[in-house]
Amino acid sequence: MMSSKYNEGVRLVRVSRDHHGQRLDNFLAAQLKGVPRSAVYRMIRTGQVRINGGRAKAATRLAEGDEVRIPPARIRGDRSVTVSDQVREQLRNAIVHEDADLLVIDKPAGMAVHAGSGLPWGLIDALRQDRGDEFLELAHRLDRETSGCLVLARSGPALTHLSAGFREGRVSKFYLCLMTGRLPQAVLEVDAPLARRADFGGGRVEVDDAGKPSITRFRLLRQFDDCCYAEAELLTGRTHQIRAHARHIGMPLAGDRRYADRQSLKLWKGRGLNRIFLHAHRLVLDAPDGRDLEFDAPLPEILRRVLDTLEAGGPG
């Protein structure tokens, strides 16, 4: 049976140097262990959480010295989750790079980066459980369905530097994708603002003149009869940007359950694809110590098999 209790009363927490630049929602998730992430977002949305006396949004970046008001919250007594040894070993084997400042991991498809929306744990929780008390924070995010390079900070100063790099467009991000249809030219830049559709169950973004500026550059790598293999470069970093832009130009990504239609999903399932064909294969960034770093994650085997079948002139 589920048991529950309340944490202590209202707390005023001063943001330390290690958490400078961290998103408010991630800061609260760490402060309110055992509280469902949906409850954390509700507290922010209803104004129960305050920064220096004022309301804030989930994506607000904290600064050293900020005072955060944290209200009492109900803690589920059964929220203690143990991540399996198999998953922890899988993530150890997926490490692309590690140094004193950052950790780069080849995130598996189907694994969320954090708990929430009915998920008891995410990649960050599994890594923290595996590494004990080590400082680890997400510098950016990948969709649950997307695989590939994911960067985590290993210190507060590194988090500040890396988060700012992603936020300010100083990180070059390249994805491999399979698009339905034919690209009209070798390089196609889609410059179309995106906004979230609140009326769509599960959340979706679409092109909207009132949305945030969003630019994706698609480069054709291989054209097939009814689809094309391409590299997508993110020139901005919006939620679902590649997926929404691909759909906008009438070329939804293969296997995309959120943006492609049922007929397309059925077609790709028949070709052996049971996930979205989207992989974050390359990142270029400047490290906190001033080095220029580049990381690559190979195309997952399941995606490689689909591509090999197409190149061999198989179905489709």
Q: What pLDDT, on the 0 to 100 scale, is given for residue 82?
A: 80
Give percent above pLDDT 70 in the chain: 91
Sketch out the chain's domains with CATH numbers: 4-76 (3.10.290.10), 85-165 (3.30.2350.10), 170-311 (3.30.2350.10)
Token duo for residue 225:
């009869």
- Segment 187-201, tens digit of pLDDT: 999 999 999 886 555
**Highest-confidence segment of 8-12, 83-87, 173-177, 193-197:** 173-177
Token pair 């994506």 is found at 59
User: What angle is formed at CA 150 by the lines to CA 78 and CA 175, rounded to 5 degrees?
Assistant: 130
Residue that wins the pLDDT comparison between 98 and 30:
98
pLDDT at residue 230 is higher than 80: yes
Say if residues 162 and 285 touch (Cβ distance below 8 Å).
Answer: yes
pLDDT at residue 34 is higher than 90: no
pLDDT at residue 179 is higher than 90: yes
Token duo for residue 287:
């490290």
- Segment 4-27, tens digit of pLDDT: 344 457 889 999 888 888 899 888
Neighbour-count burial of 231, counting CB atoms closer than 10 A to its CB (0-12 exposed, 13-18 middle, 19+ buried): middle
Please tell me which residue in 25, 66, 101, 143 is annotated as part of the active site. 143
Name which of 251, 249, 246, 243 is nearest 227 in CA terms.
251
The full DSSP string for 72-110 is --EEETT------HHHHHHHHHTEEEE-SSEEEEEEPTT
Name which of 220, 201, 198, 224 is nearest 211 in CA terms.
198
- Segment 102-160, tens digit of pLDDT: 999 999 999 999 877 677 888 998 998 898 878 898 999 999 999 999 999 998 889 88
- At 181, the pLDDT band (50, 70, 90 cuts) reads very high
Name which of 261, 70, 255 is nearest 145 in CA terms.
255
In the predicted model, what is the mean pLDDT of residues 202-223? 92
Q: What pLDDT, on the 0 to 100 scale, is given for residue 77?
A: 47
Q: Tell me if residue 143 is catalytic.
A: yes
**Which residues are CB-contacts of 46 (< 8 A; sequence separation ≥ 6)?**
none
pLDDT at residue 78 is higher than 50: no
Q: What pLDDT, on the 0 to 100 scale, is given for residue 196?
A: 86
Q: What pLDDT, on the 0 to 100 scale, is given for residue 314?
A: 60
Kind of pairing between the strands at 95-98 and 102-107: antiparallel
Say if residues 226 and 316 touch (Cβ distance below 8 Å).
Answer: yes
Left, alpha or beta for 47 (phi > 0: left; psi -120 to 50: alpha)?
A: left
